[in-house]
Amino acid sequence: MDVVILKDGDAVAAAGADLLQRVLRRKPNAVFGLATGRTPLAMYQRLIAACRDEGLSFRDVTTFNLDEYIGLSPDDPQSYRAYMKRELFDEIDIDQSNTFLPECGEKTDPLDVGPAYEALIRSRGGIDLQVLGIGRNGHIGFNEPTSSLNSRTRIKTLTRETIAANRQYFNDPLAQPQLAVTMGIATIMDARQIVLLATGKEKAEAVRPTIEGPVSAMCPASILQMHETVSVLLDEAAASALTLRDYYDWIAQQKRRISGKKEGR
C-alpha cells in the first residue's frame, strides 16, 4: 500500500488526476472505475481542464461507476448518473454509451442488476484503475461495515449513518433512497490498480483502520491491504489519526531520493 500524505485537498486532487492521466497515456482505451461524492470532485475538475487545455482525451475510455441508488431515475438530479454527467461526462470527450453505472431501470429486476454488471465489466476486459472515496464508517462503494469481503455487485441497505451523511444532497428527506446497487468488495479488488482518495478530518477515523488496522468486514476499506497496487492519497487532516506517520514520511523521503537518482539528479 502506497500511503501518500499531501498538504491539502488540492494536492490530493492533483495526484489523483496525475495517476489517471498516467494510465490513459499508457492505455488510451483504459477502463476506469469511478466514484461519486464530494471527494473526487476536484480531481474531476482537473481532468476536465486537462481535456480542454492539454489535449487529454477520453474518446476511447470505458467507465464503470461504483454504485447507484435504487428508486431514482437516471435524469433525477440526485442520481449518480446525473452527478457523473454534470461533474465529468458532459465536460469531456467520452462516448457516453461507454459509461456504465449499476442502474436499476423501472422494468429491471434489482436482483438481476448485479450479475449483469459483473458480466459487463468482464466483457470490457476488467477495470484498469478503480477510484475510491471512503465513508466515515470505512465503506467503499456502498459496501457498509459487515459486508462480505468476498461480495460481488448487489443490492445493499445503507446504514443510518450513510443516509445521514448524504441527506444534505436531498431537499426532500422522504425522496432519499435507502437502498443502492454497489460493486462488491471482490469486484473492487479485481481492479488492476486502485486509488483511494480521502480528505478532511471527518475521514481520519476511517483512514487509520484502513491502513493500520486488521483486515475486517467492520472496516471494508481495510481489505485494500490485500491488494498489490493501491495508492492511498490523503490530505493532512485525513491522515491525522495515523500512528505510523513518521514512517510514511520516511518512506516518501526515500522514494524522492531514489527517483532523484534515477533522473540523474
Q: Which residues bind ligand F6R (CB under 6 A)?
A: 35-39, 66-67, 133-135, 139-142
Q: Which of 60, 137, 161, 227 is catalytic?
A: 137
Q: For ligand F6R, which is the closer residue by CB, 163 or 251?
A: 163
Nearest distance, CB of residue 167 and ligand F6R, angstroms: 12
Residue 37 or 184: the one with the smaller Cβ distance to ligand F6R is: 37
Nearest-angstrom CA–CA distance, 46 and 42: 6
Residue that has been written with the C-alpha cell 493501491 in this structure: 230
> Is residue 87 within 8 Å of residue 41, measured between CB atoms?
yes
**CA-closest candidate to residue 189, choices 139, 162, 157, 149:** 149
Closest to 138 (Cα-Cα) out of 198, 200, 226: 198
Helical H segments across the chain, by residue range: 9-26, 41-54, 80-87, 110-123, 160-166, 185-189, 204-212, 245-262
Decide if 139 is catalytic.
yes
Nearer to ligand F6R, 17 or 35 (CB): 35
182 contacts: CB under 8 Å, gap ≥ 6: 66, 67, 102, 141, 142, 143, 153, 154, 156
Nearest approach, Cβ of 182 to ligand F6R (angstroms)?
7
Alpha helices in 124-203 (DSSP H): 160-166, 185-189
Residue type, 65: N
Identify which of residues 146 and 253 has a Cβ nearer to ligand F6R in the complex.
146
Minimal distance, residue 254 CB to ligand F6R, in Å: 30
**Distance of closest approach, residue 250 Cβ to ligand F6R, in angstroms:** 29
Distances in Å between the Cα of 176 and the Cα atoms of 9, 32, 171, 241 are 28, 27, 9, 32
* Least distance to ligand F6R, CB of residue 140, Å: 6
Q: For 94, phi and psi rounded to 5 degrees?
A: -70, 145
Q: Which of 65, 103, 118, 139 is catalytic?
A: 139
Nearer to ligand F6R, 94 or 134 (CB): 134
Is residue 137 annotated as part of the catalytic site, yes or no?
Answer: yes
Cite the active site residues: 67, 137, 139, 144
